[in-house]
Amino acid sequence: MGSKLVAVWGKNNSGKTTFAVNLACALASRDRLVGLISSNLIYGNLQIFFGQSVLPDKGLFHGLNDDNPNIGEKFSEYEENKNLFFLSAPNHYTGLLCDSVSLQSVEKLINAASLVFDILIVDGAEDVANPVSGVGLWMAERIYTLYKPSIAAQMWHKGVEDFVRELHIADKQINIMQAPNGDFCDETFKSLIELSFAHELPFVKRASELENAGTPIYFFKDRRCRSYSKVLEQISDEICGGKGK
């Protein structure tokens, strides 16, 4: 593949989609052409973060099922940054289309998109049976796995151990802790889960408010958002191969 493929994974409510969206913003701000693919097959969620809609002739299912060789036309352009494009399910309910998604169609989509973008990010799903998430994890060069401290997060981690082993993705995983809102001790969680964390993301109280307003955290400049963005810059350095590159 021509692009660097990055997957973001974690339990629901771990902050993974927020992270994936804002990492895409950080990378696009470095003059990289970035494609962001959602694995949500039930409803379109990426467009909420960007305050936009997915047009009827675009979107995830068109990208998976259309034989148009120009896959880039199925992505929606982020209006605030011409280097960032996203592929998400349309705004209206499309759950009945889920059965039409095959592993082969996802692999074909990712391979085609890798020829268009410098960096491709797949926002994975908690469900290990999700075909977009599963193929994205298998094909990714690196996987950022997010954990928000809780007993449920520990149980999810234990529950996906066989999946991680069967897919041979353990060596590609980079663990990130999303700081809790004071409702669970992060040190206790670390001792329970027995993982090392390469990065820790601060809790951003305004995250939901900004999401509903279609404003990525990366572009908002209060103290907490700047701290969150600083971690994104460090991770962008890892992906791009050096500071500011």
pLDDT confidence of residue 62: 87
pLDDT confidence of residue 90: 86
Neighbours of 138 (CB within 10 A): 17
Per DSSP, the chain holds a count of helices (H) and strands (E) of 10, 8
Cβ partners under 8 Å of residue 221, min gap 6: none
Strand partners for 84: 34
- The DSSP result for 148-189, as a single string, is -SSHHHHHHHHHTHHHHHHHT-GGGEEEEEE--SSSS-HHHH
Strand partners for 200: 177
pLDDT confidence of residue 46: 94
**pLDDT per position in the chain (245 positions), as tens?**
557 999 999 999 999 999 999 999 999 999 999 999 999 998 889 999 999 999 888 899 889 887 777 899 999 999 999 999 999 998 776 555 666 789 999 999 999 999 999 999 999 999 999 999 999 999 999 999 999 998 899 999 999 999 999 999 999 999 999 987 767 777 788 888 889 999 999 999 999 999 999 999 999 989 999 999 999 999 999 999 867 66
Cβ partners under 8 Å of residue 134, min gap 6: 103, 128, 167
Beta strand 34-38 with 84-87 is parallel
Dihedrals φ, ψ of 103, to 5°?
Answer: -60, -35
- Catalogue all structural domains in the chain, each as residue range(s) with its CATH number: 4-240 (3.40.50.300)
Q: What are the residue ranges of helices labelled H in the chain? A: 16-28, 46-50, 60-65, 103-114, 131-139, 151-159, 161-167, 186-193, 207-212, 223-240
Which among 33, 183, 196 is positioned nearest to 118, based on CA atoms?
33
**How would you list the strands of the sheet with 76-77, edge to edge?**
76-77, 84-87, 34-38, 119-123, 4-10, 142-147, 173-178, 199-201
Q: What is the pTM of this model?
A: 0.94
